[in-house]
Each structure stands twice: as structure tokens, then as C-alpha cells.
A and B are shown apart, each in its own frame.
Chain A
Amino acid sequence: MRTYLLNRLWQSALTLLLASIVVFLGVRALPGDPALAFAGEERDPESLAAIRARFGFDQPLLVQFWKFLTAALSGDLGDSTRTGIPVTSMIGSALPVTIQLSVFALLVAVLVGGATGVLAAVRRGRPAEWFANAVALIGLSVPNFWLGLIAIIYLAVGFGWFPASGFVPFTVDPVANLHHLVLPALVLGSGLAAVVMRQTRSAMLESLGADYIRTARAKGLSPRAVVGSHALRNSLVVVVTIVGLQLGALISGAVVTERIFALPGFGKMTVDAVFQRDYPVIQGVVLVTASAYVLINFLVDLAYSLIDPRIRVTGAAS
């Protein structure tokens, strides 16, 4: 178990290093001179040189990378070339919004998708399954940013049930915070819920056909115990895997959702930064994204071993 953990940590570090190299080089491949962007009106050579010197653009790539890396490790991701604000503090204010949104959306996806998936598997061949399948297929086919648009038009503006846009920090007003996040979380979670539903359904169908389910029934357990405990526990691995694999989709979805609902989150920051050629910010957000990915996959692996004891011992997560 310990060697397994160490191995995983080493792999994670390697992935992060790779990601930072890719990002560093990728950002420098962007067309346009960031110094020009920062300089604005004052485009005389002296001030451009000063700007380049300030951000280190005049140094060799390797030196720039080394400085970037060492600074990043000490928690300094540089300053925005647009605003001069430290990237870490920009991320610090944008990240909580996105994390809250993503967590809520995940909750929606797992609760709704998981429940309907189990229902569809248990009610195989009945109208309930047909209905659940149909809803999931529609969920897969609806662009969720459009769903957001429709929700804003009808639920927020039309009926006035929810705020159409904006964000209130939880620490300022918890109720307003949740109220602002209901629609975005539902919209972002709906597509994922469809994916979770379909995977849960097929995993449950497989579990329900397993020999140990026959044993559980032969032991005289109630259907609730057979399905809810014996079959579900074995299907959880699949659900956890999906959550891990859908992280990229979740981040992509969050960008669009934040845009529609005007949430001051990470996604909006990313898109803005790319359009403004804000190198340090792009580096920072991608690095944070990669770290989040690595962290979540690490958690997913841990969850595997909690759910399935066989993985705990062999240490082989496939």
C-alpha cells in the first residue's frame, strides 16, 4: 500500500512537471507580444524593454522556465501582464466560485444520475426504465449552455424564481449564494447526470447478474439489501471512474456555464486571459487545472481502494 502511494505521488509530480513544460512552451507559441499588450499607448522601445525586463521576457527560455518553476513552487505565479495583479490572488478569488459550482454540479449528477441509473436497472424492461433511458438520451443530446439560456429566459427572467446572473460569496450571504448557484449547478450537472445514469445502469445490470447476488437472495435478504448494499457497492467503482474521467468535461462545462450566468469564476478568467495574451495568468490557470486533475485522480484511486478491497491489496488500479 505504501509503495503504491509513493508510486502514485511520483507519477503525479511527473505529470505536473510535464504539464508545466507544455504550458510554458505553449504559451510562448501564442502569437502577439505580451509586452505590447501591457504597454498600451506607450510603445517606445525603452518602455517595451522595461516591461520585458520586468516580466523576464528578455531572458533565455530555459532561464525563464527555471524562474517560473522555482517561483511557482514557492507559491508565486507572477503578476498579470494585463493588470499587474498577482496571479495567485486572481486565482484565489476565482477558484472558490468554480469549485463550489463544480461540487454542486457533481452532487446533482451523482444523486440524480445514480438514482435513476439504479432505478432503470432494477426496473428492467418496465416503463420506468424506458422513461429513464429516454431522459438520459435527451440529457446527452441537449447542449447544456442552451439549457442555461432557456433557464435564464423562463425560470429567472420569466418567473423570477432565481437570479439570472451574478455571484454572492457564501461568506457574505449564504442564502443568496446558494440561490445564485441553483440554476448554474443544475445546468452544469444535467449533462453529467445523463452520463452517470447510463454508466450506473449498465454497471448495476452487470452486478445484478452476478453470482454473489444469487447468494444474497439465497440468504433471504430483502430486495432493498440485495440491490442497495450488495449490488450498489460493486457498481460504485464505475460511478467513481466516471466522475474522474468527466473532470475535463466538467471544467469545459464550467467555463461555458460561468459565461452564461456571469459568474466570476475560473473559466471566465481562462478565456479572458487567452484573448488578452496574459502569459502568467494562462500558465497559472493551466497549472492549477492540471494540479486539480492530478489531485482528483489521486482521490479517485483512493476511493477505489476504499470501495474495492481487491485493489487495496494488489495496488493495481487499472
Chain B
Amino acid sequence: MTVPISKTAPKMALSVRDLSVTFRTTDGPVSAVDRVSFEVDAGEVLAVVGESGCGKSVTAMALAGLLPGSATVTGSVRLGERELVGASEQALRKVRGSEVAYVFQEPMTSLNPVFTVGRQIAEVLRVHRGMGKRQAQARAVELLGLVGIPEPARRLREYPHQFSGGMRQRVMIAMALACDPAVLVADEPTTALDVTVQAAVLDLLRDLGKRLGTAIVLITHDLGVVADIADRVLVMYAGRVVETAGTQELFDAPRHHYAIGLMGAVPTAARRSEEGRLREIPGLVPVLAEQPAACTFADRCPAADDKCRTAEPPLLPAARPGSAGTHRAACWHPADEEAR
């Protein structure tokens, strides 16, 4: 399933190959992520989309080894020349926050309520860059300015509860960017925010990513967010990648019926303001003990037949003129454009 990398491509920041995650639970093993592969270039925004439970957040946490001990991770996550899967906890600690940084969904609860934001930003710099207190504080002021927080020197001494939701998320972004990471993993960064604030935070993320050359892995269930800032999209379902394409390609001609289902629920401006979330596809993402030799979406798919239930569809390039092999879908009966 490897894809030859062309020499002319921009510098690749992160390369994930056949990443699988299984959790041990009291009810037996649960497969959360199954052989997921992707890569992200510096300055690029890759969106990973899917319903909740499809494995996108687990994938995100697995990148820097942040899953709990009950998880078994296999496959490969390469950051430059380094392999992160199976790396020692100590090595991973050096990577986290400095080379792979995270922004989480709930800025309210993701910042520690009892420390000033200045301390929380400075902490990263002191741990990874060995800066002294004064130096770290000075850099923290710069960072707060960078993410567009007015009066950064004063607000540095304030606590998270004194910030609005959007401002808190800016603090999270400043904290994540403190050490100029190669990869920024943003897990639903705008889901908890007001619609009006969402766009501003997304703009900031994309803008900073391009300016600093940071590769961004954006986890979201919101195709509106994808359309706003992603360069490429990875659609996940039940732990597997079912479709991957450039953002425009995917929106123009989705191939997998799950992607089409998501598209059918792409929020229009009007619907989005009243719900703010995707319309759901009937049924639930299955919880799997083992990955079956079948299409996991078959039970919810309008085009499913016997083949879908007995053989796993490979992720193949879409046979479509002009797609240049970057558009791939794992479907035995991919839709063509008319099907929409």
C-alpha cells in the first residue's frame, strides 16, 4: 500500500503507515484503528473526518504515544527520520509538545484552571527549550501576540477562566506552537466554540501553519470546517480509511457511499447556524472486536451487496480522468458523479 514519494514533493513532515490500535477492555479486545496510512507535508492541512467512534481521535492520540496502557499500537509513525511507534516513553516525551503538539477540543477543561496561562505556556518552553523563567515569559508574551490576543503582557498573568472560549483556544494554540513543532494535531479544535468564533480560530490555524511551515492534522466531524481550511481529506469509518482526496476533489466527486452520506449532510449556511453539526447517517458506527474481511460500512450502505459483506475493499485510486492518483476510495461499488 506504499506510495512512492516523488522527489519534487514538499518536505514531508509526518508519515503514517498501517497504524492499528486495539484496546483491551473488560468485554474483550476492541479494534479502534485498522491499518491507517497517510502523510502530511510541512505547511499542509490534512483533515481526518468521520462520525464519533470512527477512530479519528484514537489515531490522533496514537501519533505521539498518548494512548493509555490498555492500547496496543502497531504499524509505523515516522517523524522525519525517527520512528515513534515503540519508541521509549522518554523519547516520546521529548517529541510531545516540541515536535508533535496538540490542541484539544475543550479549551475550557484542557487548560489547567489553577495556573496562569503564562505559566502553562512557559512550562513547555522550560521543559523542551531549557529556558529560564524570564526568557520563557518573554517568549510567552510573543506567542500570545502571535495568536492575536490583545495586551499579551497583561493577560499572561491571568487564569483560564478569565478568557473567553475563543481566546482560550488561542492560548492552547500558542502553547502548541511554543516550540515551533513540525506537526500540530488539532482534535476538534473549534467544536466547542461559538460559530462566529470558529472561523477566526480556523483562519488563525491555517495562517500560522502556512507561515511557520507546520503540518496540521485536523481531526473533525464537521465538513464545513474541512471545506474552510483543509488541503486534503482522509475519511475514516470504523477504524479504516475509506476515502482520501484533495478537498476540492472530495467535495466535487465523493466515491465512497459513506463520504456521500457525510456530504448529504454538509451543512448549508442556514442549517449550520441552527444545528452546528452534521446530519446523521442512519445507524451507528459498529464496535468491532476484530476487523472483518468485509466492508465495515456494508450494513449502512445503500449499494451494498454480497461481495461487500465477504471481502474487504482495497483503497484504490479512483479511475477518473484528472485525479492524478491522489483520490482513492475503498469501495467495491464506488459512486460516479451522476449518482449524486
Contacts and interface: CB of A to CB of B under 8 A. Distances in A.
Interface residues of A, number: 21
A219 interface: yes
Contacts of A211: 104, 106, 109-110
Contact of A234 (B64, B95, B97, B112): B112
A230 B93 CA distance: 16
A313 interface: yes
B102 A218 contact: yes
B106 A222 contact: no
A222 B89 CA distance: 10
A230 B161 contact: no
**Dominant SS among interface residues on chain A:** helix
Interface string B151-168: 000000001011000000
A310 interface: yes
B110 to A, nearest CB: 4
A310 B127 contact: no
A214 B161 contact: no
A64 to B, nearest CB: 50
A306 B71 CA distance: 38
A210 B101 CA distance: 18
Contacts of A212: 109-113
Interface string A208-246: 001110111111111001000010011000000000000
Contacts of B175: 215, 219
A22 B98 CA distance: 63
A216 B112 contact: yes
B104 A215 contact: yes
Contact of B159 (A215, A216, A220, A310): A310
A214 B66 contact: yes
Interface in A187-217: 210-212, 214-217
Contact of B66 (A218, A222, A225): A218
Given A220-B96, A220-B124, A215 B161 contact: no
B243 interface: no
A309 interface: yes
A307 interface: yes
Contacts of B162: 313
Contact of A218 (B94, B97, B127): B97
Interface string B169-181: 0001001000000
Contacts of A309: 113-114, 116, 159, 161
B123 interface: yes
B16 to A, nearest CB: 18
B128 A220 contact: yes
Contacts of A33: none
Contacts of A308: 113-114
Contacts of B94: 220
Given A212-B109, A214-B66, A310-B159, A220 B114 contact: no
Most central of A221, A225, A308 by chain B CB within 10 Å: A221
A310 B109 contact: no
B128 A215 contact: no
Contacts, number: 75
Nearest to A207: B112
B97 A220 contact: yes
Nearest to B111: A212
Contact of A214 (B93, B104, B123, B124): B104
Interface string B103-130: 0101001111111100000011001100
Contacts of A310: 113, 159, 161
B161 A218 contact: no
Contacts of B109: 210-212
Residue in B64, B98, B114 with the greatest tally of chain A CB atoms within 10 Å:
B114
Contacts of A214: 66, 104, 110
B101 A218 contact: yes
A225 to B, nearest CB: 8
Contact of A233 (B66, B98, B114, B127): B114
A233 B175 CA distance: 20
A215 B109 CA distance: 9
Contacts of A221: 93, 97, 123, 127
B273 to A, nearest CB: 27
A34 B161 CA distance: 59
Contacts of B93: 220-222
A230 B98 CA distance: 19
Q: Give the most central of A211, A215, A216, A234: most B CB within 10 Å.
A: A215
Interface centre among B110, B112, B128, B161, by most chain A C-beta atoms within 10 angstroms, is B112
Nearest to A237: B114
A230 B114 CA distance: 8
Contacts of B106: 211
A220 B66 contact: no
Interface in B272-306: none
B124 A230 contact: no
A313 to B, nearest CB: 7
A285 B278 CA distance: 67
A295 to B, nearest CB: 25
Nearest to A309: B159
A230 B106 CA distance: 17
A234 B98 CA distance: 25
Nearest to B159: A309
Contacts of A233: 112, 114-115
Contacts of A222: 93, 127
Contacts of A313: 161-162
Interface of A: 210-212, 214-222, 225, 230, 233-234, 307-310, 313
Given A215-B112, A309-B116, 12 more contacts: A212-B112, A214-B104, A217-B66, A218-B64, A218-B102, A220-B95, A221-B123, A221-B127, A222-B127, A225-B123, A233-B114, A309-B159
6 contacts: A212-B111, A218-B102, A219-B123, A220-B96, A225-B123, A230-B115
Shortest 9 CB-CB distances between A and B: which pairs?
A: A220-B97, A220-B96, A219-B97, A211-B109, A218-B102, A212-B112, A309-B159, A211-B110, A215-B110
